[in-house]
Structure 1
């Protein structure tokens, strides 16, 4: 099999490593993000200009036509449209790294551009927590109602941005720059998808967006969401670039008990009515490479772990454009 990877930053390089393990893909072609125009530029073109651009890009990169099995879109979030236009023409399946796009305007264009592949379940979005064995098992455990009727959930995730990619100047990373679609809302949108995966569709009740620190970034470093699912589970999610020790924790409270979980250490403690706390033994991750490969396998079986439709619901929630002045 043959794979394309658009974007050669940290996540693009990781995908190259994961897809090459065990000779899974016999050929992997990596294309840097600078080969593509920004979403803002693409949205300014006419339909015919976009089609001509895609054709010219394919020829310029010597990609051929429908030659690849999978294309991974790992460009910055604000450089997705051009890359997806090309991938649609040269690859059977497309995995778009989260977040799907950086804005609602880009989302509308992308949905039209990939409509055929979306309808055929040939597009997936890289919300990889769905591939984490303990998360899948937790969802199944909750479905058996050991906590009774679910009432509310708190999810908190954070990591100090300068420590996130220590080999890079944090001020020049995607996370720090508006032009690349950065900000903690987009970068840590996994947590929104986790709530959707565990509890179902939700409505945004309120959100608070702020830059609380002295970090030299253009984007928000703190977001607090308040959500309510269709099933009536009130959920509060806090994400930040501030915590010196990386943290990803959740607490779920039901009418018959509660659960605390640490998703980094993959440790979970449950307590039900009239019972002592006990460790919930859930399967652990063998390697993140295996988790990411699960996404590709599911996609190629036309059963994406996170579909385009599921991911698009999150865009108006995490899009913090214009909320920091």
Structure 2
């Protein structure tokens, strides 16, 4: 039998979670207040310092701060700021060689006294490598050694014992994200740039332009004004897009005929009709630089299966179908 007695009554997990979230929210509120009361100047200086270097941002830390550092390095890198994470402990065993003279180091440590940071801090001082600290201690060894200090509010940890880094690491994450996004916006980093660093997965698919996936040339189901409906139906059947594009003589788009249009005209003698009698004269079109996500939204909003890609003169350039979006992983 286990003789260890419980020191208190069982805690309701939901109430515990609500307290944790409330305490961490207070930490973020304190951080927001600090940005309007001095910390904002630090952020501006950090953006200027990082923008001025020709190398990478090296993020370092140990423990839970190290885990946050790994995420922040990845965020910097994916938003256009070249970055790497160097574990402070591993730096003592050769990884200092990963830090070049044209780099900048961001060190994360709540108390600023982590023994593992000493070597990497000393290295930056020896080779005049800019050092930015993210810490809650203004008088720590790390703060005194750094060129710039993000002095974060020293709020209570959500851990009831005040031991497990929770509120403090959340604030590190938040200010690091804020710095990354400020750098992104400062340099005018676009969705196209973002796609360069995220070519795979659903995120990469959502940043694909329709011009990269549209059907063009001989694949397009094109017919001219005045074409008999029997010929249009044949084209619709052979091209397998569920629609036919009707063209003006000058190459501009005149209209579209879809499977739905055929169904709505079944009571008429299609053999006696031409495409002009059946077509919809205001089809949904998009430009070639439209993102795949926007194309999907338009398809869903209008309950249609395909969009016509046109140039500024309304000349068809291609056709993008719902199945194309499904194939690349957007839908």
Same fold? TM cut 0.5: no
- Give TM-score scaled by structure 1 length: 0.29
**Greater length-normalized contact order (CA 8 Å, ≥ 6 residues apart):** 1
> Which of these two proteins has the greater Rg computed from alpha carbons?
2
